[in-house]
């Protein structure tokens, strides 16, 4: 689908919303990059896959191949300037593009929480190929929250300027707060924010997005992936993104990301299946 300004695939107003087990892909939101000011929402292209001004939770979803000026996959603005306004659980954001900022995810003012999810292979021009929250525009709005990321892969994204994977734009007057990522047992590549001690980086060794079972496509972990058995399950999830039949924590410990490798020794290799 192709929409102008807001939400090429899905547009939600200010009401809280939840999307489960859905594949949102190949949508476009046309318009100019974000610029604050009267009437900005009528001309700017935000949220190629999904745009909302309310609290949003995605569970078991894949958002892939969408395009916009800001927030190629997902954009959220305002949402009452609240904590955890955008929540991803057991979800994948992959292959989305933004001509400005936030190739995968772009959030204005409010907080973001990501659990057992994968954000990879997204692209943006001006920072945050994976994720770009913008925080602290004016003193009135300087109630922003740092990103919370747990047992998730934020890596293999690309940008021309700024940090490729997680680029948090803290700006305004008075000077912005000093933010750092909150969470544990993640794999985060290029970030302009401090990450918790023990956070992995580098290549997560992800297979291409594919039907690996369940309702939505996922990135399986290739042989030798550092994400295998290196994660956690703070939410006590029974299954990975694929749902029933794919238990979370199948090995000695949960894997990082949305996909849980099987415990029977089956391994996916870069050159195919063996």
pTM of the shown model: 0.90
Residue 122 forms part of a structural domain: yes
Q: What is the pLDDT along the chain (274 residues), one digit of tens a residue?
A: 554 568 899 999 888 999 999 999 999 998 776 655 444 455 678 899 999 989 999 999 999 999 999 999 999 987 667 889 999 999 999 999 999 889 999 998 788 999 999 999 999 998 899 998 876 554 444 456 789 999 999 999 999 988 999 998 765 544 455 678 999 999 999 998 899 999 999 999 999 999 999 999 999 999 999 999 999 999 999 999 999 999 998 889 999 999 999 875 444 444 443 3
Task: Indicate whether 263 belongs to any domain.
Answer: no
Query: In whole angstroms, what is the distance from residue 207 CA to residue 19 CA?
Result: 25
Structural domain boundaries, residue 136? 2-188
Residue 225 lies in a domain: no
The label of the residue with tokens 């291409």 reads: 208
Q: Please state whether beta strands 86-89 and 74-77 pair in parallel, antiparallel, or not at all (unpaired).
A: unpaired
Residue 107 within any structural domain of the chain = yes
Specify the number of domains making up the chain. 1
Burial class of residue 61, CB neighbours in 10 A (0-12, 13-18, 19+): buried
Asked, for residue 28, whether it belongs to a domain, the answer is: yes
Would you state the structure tokens that stand for residue 194, as one six-digit string?
């401090």
Strand stretches in 152-274, DSSP E:
153-155, 158-159, 169-170, 182-184, 187-188, 268-269, 272-273
Q: Name the token pair of 85.
A: 């306004």
Residue 78 lies in a domain: yes
Strands (E), 26-160: 28-30, 50-52, 56-59, 62-64, 67-70, 74-77, 86-89, 92-94, 97-101, 105-108, 112-115, 118-120, 123-124, 131-135, 148-150, 153-155, 158-159
In a domain, 167, yes or no: yes
Q: Using CA atoms of 203, 236, 269, 217 in order, give the dihedral in degrees to the nearest 10.
A: -90
**79: in domain:** yes
């Amino acid at each position: 689908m192709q929409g102008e300004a807001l939400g090429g695939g899905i547009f939600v107003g200010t009401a809280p919303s939840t999307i489960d087990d859905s594949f949102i892909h190949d949508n476009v939101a046309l318009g100019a990059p974000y610029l604050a000011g009267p009437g900005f929402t009528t001309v700017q292209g935000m949220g190629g896959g999904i745009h909302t001004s309310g609290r949003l939770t995605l569970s078991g979803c894949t958002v892939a191949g969408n395009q916009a000026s800001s927030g190629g996959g997902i954009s959220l603005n305002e949402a009452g300037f609240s904590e955890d306004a955008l929540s991803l659980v057991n979800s994948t954001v992959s292959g989305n593009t933004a001509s400005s900022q936030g190739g995968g995810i772009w959030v204005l003012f409010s907080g973001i929480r990501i659990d057992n999810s994968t954000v990879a292979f997204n692209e943006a021009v001006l920072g945050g190929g994976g994720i770009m929250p913008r925080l602290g525009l004016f003193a009135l709005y300087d109630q922003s929250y740092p990103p919370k990321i747990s047992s998730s892969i934020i890596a293999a994204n690309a940008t021309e300027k700024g940090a490729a994977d997680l680029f948090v734009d803290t700006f305004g007057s008075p000077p912005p707060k000093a933010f750092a990522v909150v969470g544990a047992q993640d794999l985060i590549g290029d970030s302009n924010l401090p990450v918790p001690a023990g956070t992995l980086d580098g290549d997560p060794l992800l297979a291409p997005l594919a039907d690996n079972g369940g309702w939505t496509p996922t990135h399986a972990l290739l042989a030798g992936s550092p994400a295998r058995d290196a994660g956690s399950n703070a939410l006590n999830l029974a299954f990975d993104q694929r749902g029933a039949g794919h238990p979370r924590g199948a090995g000695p410990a949960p894997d990082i990301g949305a996909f849980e490798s099987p415990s029977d020794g089956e391994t996916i290799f870069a050159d195919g299946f063996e």
